[in-house]
């Protein structure tokens, strides 16, 4: 077996492309393997540096390869793109990954444990269910408007009003309309039950996690934000300081500077959009309650709100929350 020091893998569903170099940077490996042959092949290799792009399934392969003694680093795909030469194909992608992982200033994605991925899956499923419930309620509102019935804003209004409409025989709803509205109401109740069930699971997992309990002591962080942070980050030492973590979430200004002239714009919105949304929702609650408090943080936040407006104060508080985390 040739002396391979670094390998780049272009991950796929069934066919994986490998590109390896020795300690001098000379290409010594160009190989295509099927999914079932990946682990047996690397089990017979000496421990080396392996680079992969952070994508669907990458955390599984990182854990499996690390168990074989290899040093595996995941990288954001947008950072690898700059190293792709000429046209895009599997071989060039694997070569770009191999080149990128050897760069001293490359930023890497920490490998998540199975527990983190399971916790993150609950959040993803809940987010989809909430989105489906909102879409369902919007459809119900539109159908009722066609029958001349207007429902006040809020999901609870629809949930409480539909049974009353079914029992009221004086309205202009036809039998067909009552039937499909009844089916939609059953679907709404089913979605509510599924969302509540997931939140109960998150609550139980939160009680068992010391990190979640600590995070929920921070103003503006509740059950959802705490569990989402633990599932997404894991080891906070990945970040050099609080500002780097806030920048990773996308809560710091986007910079467009040139010629020595600094130009700061709105927040960059990089990184994890789900975490950013939760932190901003929590910060909005903190801003709302700071008006009747006289502690130092509340005074600062109220001054920012008076000077810059509620939305900018909310983002400023979210940034501060990220640094506290």
Domain range summary for the chain, segments of one domain joined by +: 6-101, 115-208, 215-324
36 alpha carbon, distance to own chain's centre: 30
List, in order, residues 6 or more apart from 84 with CB less than 8 Å away: 92, 93, 96
DSSP letter (8 states) at residue 237:
G
43 three-state secondary structure: helix
Sort residue 49 into left (φ over 0), alpha (ψ -120 to 50) or beta. beta
pLDDT at 170: 77
200 three-state secondary structure: helix
Confidence of residue 270 (pLDDT cuts 50, 70, 90): confident
Q: Is the pLDDT of residue 234 over 80?
A: no
pLDDT at 193: 96
Q: Is the pLDDT of residue 1 over 80?
A: no
CB atoms closer than 10 angstroms to residue 39 = 14
Q: Which of 68, 95, 73 is nearest to 84 (CA)?
A: 95
**What is the chain's mean pLDDT, rounded?**
91
288 three-state secondary structure: helix
Confidence of residue 173 (pLDDT cuts 50, 70, 90): confident
The first and second tokens of residue 217, run together, are 């002591």
Mean pLDDT in residue range 64-73: 94
Confidence of residue 177 (pLDDT cuts 50, 70, 90): confident
Q: 162-195: string of b/e by CB count within 10 Å (b at 16+)? A: beebeeeeeeebeeebeeebeebbeebeebeeeb
Q: Which of 103, 19, 108, 24 is nearest to 62 (CA)?
A: 108
**What φ, ψ does residue 307 adopt, rounded to 5°?**
-85, -35
Distance CA 217, CA 206 (A): 13
Residue range 130-171, pLDDT digits in tens: 999 999 999 999 999 888 888 888 899 999 988 888 888 777
pLDDT at 126: 96
Q: Is the pLDDT of residue 254 over 80?
A: yes
Residue range 80-131, pLDDT digits in tens: 999 998 888 999 999 999 999 999 989 898 899 899 999 999 999 999 999 9
Q: Is the pLDDT of residue 242 over 80?
A: yes
Domain 6-101 CATH assignment equals 2.170.8.10: no
Q: Compute CA distances 205 → 56, 221, 259, whole Å.
A: 24, 16, 51
């Amino acid at each position: 077996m040739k002396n391979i020091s670094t390998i780049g893998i272009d991950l796929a569903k069934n066919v994986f492309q490998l590109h390896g170099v020795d300690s001098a940077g000379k290409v010594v490996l160009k190989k295509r393997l099927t999914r079932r042959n990946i682990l047996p092949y690397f089990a017979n290799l000496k421990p080396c540096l392996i680079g992969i792009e952070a994508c669907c399934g990458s955390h599984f392969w990182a854990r499996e390869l690390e168990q074989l003694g290899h040093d595996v680093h995941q990288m954001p795909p947008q950072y690898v793109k700059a190293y792709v030469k000429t046209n895009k194909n599997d071989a060039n992608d694997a070569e770009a990954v191999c080149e990128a992982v050897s760069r001293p200033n490359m930023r890497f994605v920490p490998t998540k444990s199975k527990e983190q991925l399971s916790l993150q899956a609950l959040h993803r499923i809940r987010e989809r269910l909430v989105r489906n419930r909102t879409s369902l309620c919007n459809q119900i509102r539109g159908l009722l408007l066609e029958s001349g019935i207007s429902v006040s804003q809020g999901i609870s209004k629809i949930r409480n009003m539909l049974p009353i409409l079914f029992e009221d025989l004086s309205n202009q709803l036809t039998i067909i309309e009552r039937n499909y509205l009844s089916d939609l109401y059953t679907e709404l109740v089913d979605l509510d039950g599924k969302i509540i069930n997931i939140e109960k699971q998150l609550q139980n997992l939160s009680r068992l996690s010391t990190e979640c309990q600590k995070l929920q002591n921070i103003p503006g962080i509740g059950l959802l934000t705490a569990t989402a942070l633990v599932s997404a980050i894991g080891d906070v030492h990945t970040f050099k300081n609080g500002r780097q973590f806030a920048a990773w979430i996308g809560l710091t200004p986007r910079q467009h500077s040139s010629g020595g002239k600094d130009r700061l714009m709105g927040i960059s919105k990089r990184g994890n959009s789900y975490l950013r949304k939760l932190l901003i929702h929590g910060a909005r609650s903190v801003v709302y309650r700071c008006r009747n408090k006289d502690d130092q943080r509340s005074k600062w936040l109220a001054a920012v709100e008076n000077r810059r407006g509620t939305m900018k104060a909310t983002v400023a508080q979210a940034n501060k929350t990220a640094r506290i985390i």
